[in-house]
Structure 1
Amino acid sequence: MFETAHEQSTAQPSPTATDLSNQHPSSESRLDPYSGNWTIFAPQRTERPDEFVDQAPTIKTDVACPFCRGNEAITPPAVWARHIPETARLFRNVTCCEEEEEPWSVRVVPNKYPAVGDLQSDSKTAFDSGAGRRDSGLFQSGCVSGGHEVIIESPRHFHSLTQLDIAEIDLVFQAYRDRIKHYRSIEGIQYINVFKNVGYDAGASLTHSHSQLVALNQIPRPVERIVERMSHHRASTGCCLRCDVIRAERKAKERMIACDETVIAYCPFASQLPMMVRVTTLEHQSHFENLDDRALESVSRMVFRVISWLEKIRPGTAYNYCLNTCPPGVNDPSDSFHWSIDIFPRMSHVAGFEWSSGCMINPVLPEAAAAMFRKCAAANSPRRR
């Protein structure tokens, strides 16, 4: 059964950004147990004057959207597609590479403007063998390749994941699972990341609801640090770091948002960005792509709920979410990694101090953010109707 972290006796009105002014004004720093980075929390900075007026970017309406049904020829051929018939809602495979006229509900295509080259067309061992490295003392470089795909979440021109049918949202997460499995099977792939950019400030270039997958032949150093800290915690305590954090968060309750039998959503203790929410499974699971259908369904619905609450709290706010699964290049015999999805609105800008120090300043305490989400969740709970 789905429930919010704190059930209340009466419905609460949907919270607004003005709730942030109720935070206590003192600053403090907090350590992220996963990355080892410190975040400075400065609630008083929400009161800063702002003489700059945000101007929304112009949306081109005279250009055909490449992700809409009927415009499949604008994108590369699909590598994965499935359709949910309007009547039976049953999944079936569609070989879109050969039959682009077939209907589809979710479609995955290679990115037309990839961030990395195709590992399958390049040398599979160039980076690992060192043949692709160029070392001239202080200045080192290397070949980066892998894969870059776009997950088109609907044939209709929707802007938000919350506009999709719940069956379509489940199918989106099935696409994530299947494409991660695909890249995990390719020799040379060391790291896989699934992410979603919504809105100009979050890095989106198209409004049609979509997400992306990037696979690399190397593991980013910040990810390596997280893996190392998780492994160290497992070695020293015998427990998974994220499982320990989840137990502590459920006991403390103040940063929890919602929980069901499978999945939990909470605001991390040392969130680097304001209003960040983390979603993961209660049961230890290192690989997102190994979730069964029931668990995957719970995850997709929790992400849907969190985004719907965020859209009520901050209408029109740009946001990102990132899926972190155990990298293929990690040798983890102790099973110390635990997958997660981080959802974060783009409410603040990274400025000079953050760039120069590597230390983020967050104007919203996670306890205040969680309280806002809980109020919104309670106001929309079927139990209150």
Structure 2
Amino acid sequence: MPELRRDLISHRWIITGTQSEEEFFSSLNPKPKEAGVECFFCEGNETKTLPEIYSIRKFDTRPNTPGWQVRVVPSKSAAFKIEGDVGKVGRGIYDMMNNIGAHELIIESPKHIKNICELPPEQILLVLKVYQTRLRDLNNDERLKYALIFKNQRPQSPFRYGHTHSQLAAIPLTPKAIKDELISAKNYFSYKERCLFCDIIRQEQKDGKRIVEENTDYISFVPFAAKFPFELLIMPKIHNADFKQESETSMKNLAQILKISLSKIARTLNDPPLTYILHTIPYLRPKQDYWKTIYNDFHWHIEIYPKTVENATGFELGSGCHIEPLLPETCAKLLSEK
């Protein structure tokens, strides 16, 4: 029986359980065959990207040469430019500003590996450390207010899109989706004096039906009101608002649970395209007191969205209510078995 479930974070209503397992899996599209195309991200092709911004590499190697483990380069199709001023202006009732910001590609392996879950945990840990390094460095740019790390993984694609990499976009504003999440967490804390995300973790541990993986420091689970089939959330079990503050010791466990969670998705859904997003706190400027309880009320997390359904329907676009064909408990059970 389909259900309506309310997402405590976004306050959206989700319609879930509209298909059986058989109906859902029969609707998945087969993967197209890959064409043989040169990859600019592979080791040895360093001169075919823009000059690197940062890298983890052997100490006796020079930038933009082989010998790296993780490499960060500017995006050639960047939507933002790093040079210039924000230049906020008004045009009648409309607000405008310059497209100032950073758009970086984080190449996660020198080898042509398509899925980050195929990397060893030690390599994934290096990727996570690069995330922290770039977030810290961009925090020094007073023009920027938020940095979003995300991955659009398309294992079936040729060329660079088939080489595992993440992206970082740092911009001079806090995006509405992030701000809505921050406000939701702030309001919950104001009312209950507890972190919303910590309460969700406790409830998931109590229910136990949607947990996919758990270790000493992190938990991976299908949200109670998941918007999409096999959607996952990964959260630190010890409260922390700022991903930049995670210790290297705990991030070893983050690398493990990220690898396991993505491997379960790959095995269950035949290595589908997916997106994952890292939500952490904004750069707290210029109004330091605007989010004065943020270190108490927010909780950084990773959202994972496998691409298993077509684009949103007219109903979803018009109402803002997502239709999730499988129950979250069904998705969690299938992932846990892999």
Same fold? TM cut 0.5? yes
Aligned mates of 2:60, 2:203 — CA distance in 1: 42
How do 1:55-94 and structure 2 match up within 5 A? 56-57=31-32, 59-61=34-36, 63-83=37-57
Aligned mates of 2:324, 2:60 — CA distance in 1: 45
Alignment counterpart, residue 176 of structure 1, candidates 118, 131, 141: 131
SS at 1:313 equivalent? helix
Spell out, residue by residue over 1:141-174, the C-alpha distance to the aligned partner (whole angstroms, 9 max, x if none). Answer: 4333211000101111111112223221110111
Shift of 1:42: 3.3
- 1:271 matched to 2:226? The reply is yes
Alignment counterpart, residue 91 of structure 2, candidates 128, 135, 147: 135
Aligned mates of 1:358, 1:214 — CA distance in 2: 25
Shift of 1:51: 11
Instruction: Count matched residues.
Output: 330
Shift of 1:278: 0.6
Aligned to 1:283: 238
Aligned mates of 2:179, 2:156 — CA distance in 1: 28
Gaps of 5+ in 2: none
Aligned to 1:371: 333
Aligned to 1:357: 319
Aligned to 2:12: 37
The answer (yes or no) to whether the contact 2:40–2:160 under 8 Å persists in 1 is no
Aligned to 1:19: none
Shift of 1:43: 2.9
Alignment counterpart, residue 304 of structure 1, candidates 239, 243, 259: 259
Aligned mates of 1:282, 1:49 — CA distance in 2: 32
The two structures, once aligned, show a CA RMSD in angstroms of 2.5
SS at 2:39 equivalent? coil
Aligned to 1:162: 117
Change (3 A) 1:249 1:50: closer
Aligned mates of 1:69, 1:45 — CA distance in 2: 45
Aligned mates of 1:163, 1:48 — CA distance in 2: 29
Aligned mates of 2:123, 2:96 — CA distance in 1: 42
Shift of 1:356: 1.8
The answer (yes or no) to whether the contact 1:201–1:346 under 8 Å persists in 2 is no
Shift of 1:303: 0.4
Aligned mates of 2:26, 2:19 — CA distance in 1: 18
% identity of equivalent residues: 28
How do 1:143-292 and structure 2 match up within 5 A? 143-199=98-154, 206-292=161-247
The answer (yes or no) to whether the contact 1:146–1:189 under 8 Å persists in 2 is yes
Aligned mates of 1:54, 1:253 — CA distance in 2: 31
Change (3 A) 1:256 1:145: same
Shift of 1:300: 1.3
- TM norm structure 1: 0.80
Aligned to 2:291: 332
The answer (yes or no) to whether the contact 1:219–1:329 under 8 Å persists in 2 is no
Shift of 1:57: 5.0
Change (3 A) 1:262 1:54: closer
The answer (yes or no) to whether the contact 1:57–1:200 under 8 Å persists in 2 is no
- TM norm structure 2: 0.90
